[in-house]
Amino acid sequence: MSDVPVLSAENVCAGYPGVPVLAGVDVSLHAGCVLGIVGPNGAGKTTLLRAVTGIVPLQRGKIRIWGKDLSQWSRPALARTLAVVPQSGPLIFDFSVREVVAMGRMPHQSPWAGESTGDRLAVDHALETAEMLALQHRSYLDLSGGEQRRALFARALAQEPRILLLDEPTSHLDPGQGTGLMETARNMARHDRMAVMVILHDLNMAALYCDLLVVLKDGKVWEHGTPGEVLTPEILRSVYEVPVAVIEHPGTGGPQVLINPSASAGNG
């Protein structure tokens, strides 16, 4: 892992009109790394992702990509470098899945140039990787929530980014599909040196697939480190305010988080 981050947030304060959310957040993302962002609802996870992409303006602090301030990036250049899989896709028109995925090629195309052979190959590869080839001619609007998530994942892959940002990518997916998506993201980090930042609510998924974790609470970085360093009963109780137990995962030897209802009952 390189010592130079491909993306860094330094003392970032951001939010919405009259609603401050992030209060001095520092985060670094490196090539080849899967960085998980976890924390309770309202902690600022999605706001951090939106600040990183320039959707939410900074009130203070700096965002840098490849060492260059975010404000110095043009939108097309940023889209060729960074791709986002949002929580949902606000598409209202009747596009096919293939047309949705092909939208990921727009940053690489000249105006009015049309689709090239390279574009078609990139779309085919993205559809295959996201296991959406069989659904490519279906209407996006007719897909289930989980299928729409996979279509948006394929669209991001079609951009051929160096940085991939995922906002709760496993929501609406069954365990097999969620595991497959996270396996794909981790493999791209390992083999293609992609930098992946992923927001997760599933702490066990975070333990299995993330190299490092950042815990946000009340708009601040509460803890950061490896899953083994972060996913401890003491830290999780202080962040989520519920009784938990952490055991050794029988397959990986890493942490496995269990909600501890007996402790909760005992506290009553």
Same domain, 113 and 161: yes
Tell me how many domains the chain contains. 2
Same domain, 40 and 143: yes
Is residue 91 in a domain?
A: yes
- C-alpha to C-alpha distance for 44 and 171, rounded to whole angstroms: 18
Render each residue's pLDDT in the chain as its tens digit; 268 residues: 557 899 999 999 999 988 899 999 999 999 999 999 999 999 999 999 999 999 999 999 999 999 999 999 999 999 999 999 988 766 667 899 999 999 999 998 887 777 899 999 999 999 999 999 999 999 999 999 889 999 999 999 999 999 999 999 998 888 999 999 999 999 999 999 999 999 999 999 999 999 999 999 999 999 999 999 999 999 999 999 999 999 999 999 999 999 876 654 444 3
Sign of CA dihedral 12, 15, 20, 22: negative
Is residue 1 in a domain?
A: no
For 46, residues 6+ apart whose C-beta sits below 8 A from its C-beta are 87, 167, 199
Is residue 2 in a domain?
A: no
Q: Which domain holds residue 60?
A: 7-231
Q: Nearest 5°: CA angle at 198, between 197 and 204?
A: 130
- Determine the length of the chain: 268
- C-alpha to C-alpha distance for 241 and 259, rounded to whole angstroms: 11
